[in-house]
Amino acid sequence: MRTMKARARGSGRSRAAGARARCRSTPSSSTTNRRIRLLLLVFLACFAALTVRATALAVTPGRLLSLARQEQQRSIVLPATRGAILDRSGAPLANDEPQQTVFATPSMLSDPRAAAARLAALLHVSHGPLLLAVSDKHSGFAYVAREIDPILAAKALSLHLPGVGSYRENHRVYPGGTLATQILGFAGIDDQGLAGIEYAENAQLSGKPGQEAVVIDPAGQVLRTVSTSASRPGQSVRLTIDQNIQYQTEQILARTVARYHALGATAIVENPTTGEIYAMANAPLVTASAFASQPARTRNRAITDIYEPGSTFKLVTIAACLEAGLVTPTTSFMLPQSIRVADRVIHDAEMHPTENFTVTQILAKSSNVGAVTLAEKFLGKERLLRWIKKFGFGLPTGIDFPGEVPGLLPAQWSGSTIGNVPIGQGIAVTPMQMLAAYAAIANGGVWVQPHLVAQIGTLPVISGAKRRLLSSRVDQELTAMLSHVVADGTGTAAQIPGYQVAGKTGTAQKALPNGRGYSTTAFDASFVGFAPANHPQLCVLVMVDQPNVIWGGSVAAPAFRDIASFALQDLAIAP
């Protein structure tokens, strides 16, 4: 009995414990159910997204193919060959040579450090910058070496480095070295003109790039070409420059600068009838690479720089008096060795007693006192300024070259200005302006706009504007007077055997900075003239900056003689 009772009690306890256990398990089952439902919802959402994506791909035919092509196709620019720059006879002064540029896709390089070391050693480029460029895994492109020899580029590709390839680029070359550098300017590494004619005619020279669509493999190698749009080469530009005259002019200037320890020199050779520039040179000479390293030397100072002309400007003063009928070449004046104008005393360069000077002698002997006397007596401020502007000073000549400056006219007119300007002080001109003025005398009194470009592509360039400056009578008188300057005046060193030469010397004090007067030791020496005087076919200017011998007749006139002598022979102009 006791045993049965004990079993009954134990059974009761078990049933009670089971009931309690069932009560405790009810919350755990609820949590599990919620988790199952959440997981089911996630599966349903993913399935819905996949269904929408599959539907989109099914609705858009070729979508998968398009995505695959985007991964494999690349577009390559085919550079256009830049047009050549030629001299007047068609000889090349600048042209393009095909080169190769090697590049890398950094994201494809498994070992950038090793790749950079091998490429730098093979292509002779700086290792540090190259390593930095190819180590950027987020970059899809990095230059390894630009515009190198195609044979060297092929060696780089033979390394079979993933993502390393090459494409063609053009490299601008200047066969003449220093020849006409300040005229030609230069084109940058992207074959775009940045200075000189390269810049001025960039639109015509540049051409139009083409395009090529290619398929590449994972290593970046081209498998096949899908389509090609050919590039269109640029047009050639033929200049009026004669490379033989240009070369000789540069050499003569370089020797002149060296001999007289000058800061520099400029020379221009022009056909006075047509305005064609046969030579335009600046010394010191430079190469195209100097545009980055020596910008001060690369300026075409014949057009971009100004100087006070000194006695070559007396032509304007005398021409104005002759054209107005106020004097003749034989009109004489009693002139002292010096003259006071307001607070200034003007001296002649050579000592002489008070004596008679004809207008011809005033020009031939370069009398400062005579030129000032003419300006004070016959011209005055308004008439002199009118003639200065009529000759083209204070205005650009309009030559087809970038950066031309207009020069400087007197900003204020004081009592002493009439003593400065008639002798070429207190006014600043460009060498091109001064040459154009003398070329007008050589051309029978007709001013012609100078130009450097003769032809673009197959089309000749129409020559510039013309305007009558002086009457034929006055022009003939001035030509005869300028011939006296060379025959027995200050310009005898410009004489050329067999030819009659007309021209004028200039010796001008250089202005001190900030308008503090004039230097007593620094001068510009110049000579400008034309030949043959009876039928002019050449007009030449030489300006030497701060030589140690100051006189234009001693420094610039011999350089004029040497340049003009060569040009007369080169162009077969008979004595």
Q: CA 195, 201, 203, 208 torsion: positive or negative?
A: negative
Mean pLDDT of the chain: 88
- Calpha distance 101→222 (Å, rounded): 15
- pLDDT tens profile 1-60: 444 444 444 444 444 444 444 444 444 566 677 777 777 776 777 777 777 666 665 555
Kindly give the pairing relationship between strand 186-187 and strand 193-195.
antiparallel
Contact 451, 400 (CB under 8 A): yes
Contact 96, 81 (CB under 8 A): yes
Contact 200, 193 (CB under 8 A): yes
pLDDT over 70 at 222, yes or no: no
Q: In terms of Cα–Cα distance, which of 216, 231, 181 is closest to 75?
A: 216
Contact 267, 442 (CB under 8 A): no
- Calpha distance 437→318 (Å, rounded): 13
Q: Which two tokens stand for residue 527?
A: 């000579």
State residue 8's pLDDT score.
44
Q: In terms of Cα–Cα distance, which of 203, 166, 176, 208 is closest to 81?
A: 208
Concatenated DSSP letters of 179-234:
TTHHHH-EE-TTS-EEEHHHHHTHHHHH-B-EEEEEEE-TTS-EEEEEEEE--BPP
Lowest mean pLDDT among 169-173, 192-196, 341-345: 169-173
Q: In terms of Cα–Cα distance, which of 233, 188, 187 is closest to 207?
A: 233
Lowest mean pLDDT among 117-121, 430-434, 511-515: 511-515
How far, CA to CA in Å, does 353 sit from each of 158, 334, 350, 372, 411?
Answer: 87, 10, 10, 17, 35
Q: What is the identity of the amino acid at 154?
A: A
Q: In terms of Cα–Cα distance, which of 207, 179, 209, 181 is closest to 195?
A: 181
Which residues, 6 or more positions from 265, have their beta carbon under 8 angstroms from its beta carbon? 253, 256, 257, 282, 283, 542, 543, 544, 545, 559
- pLDDT tens profile 481-493: 999 999 999 999 9
What are the structural domains, with CATH classification, of the chain? 78-239 (3.90.1310.10), 243-570 (3.40.710.10)
Contact 399, 452 (CB under 8 A): yes
State residue 28's pLDDT score.
58
Q: Which two tokens stand for residue 484?
A: 């006296």
State residue 5's pLDDT score.
44
For residue 112, whether the previous peptide bond is cis, meaning omega lies within 30 degrees of 0, is no
Within 13 A of 412's CA, how many CA atoms are on the CB side?
4
Instruction: Considering only residues 114 and 53, tell me which one the structure prediction assigns the higher pLDDT.
Output: 114
- pLDDT tens profile 286-343: 988 788 778 778 999 999 999 999 999 999 999 999 999 999 999 999 999 999 999 8
Which residues, 6 or more positions from 350, have their beta carbon under 8 angstroms from its beta carbon? 365
Quote the strand ranges of 49-192, DSSP E: 73-78, 85-86, 92-104, 142-148, 164-173, 186-187
pLDDT band at 107 (very low <50, low <70, confident <90, very high): confident
How far, CA to CA in Å, does 73 sit from each of 65, 107, 223, 334?
Answer: 12, 17, 10, 90
State residue 67's pLDDT score.
43
Contact 387, 319 (CB under 8 A): yes
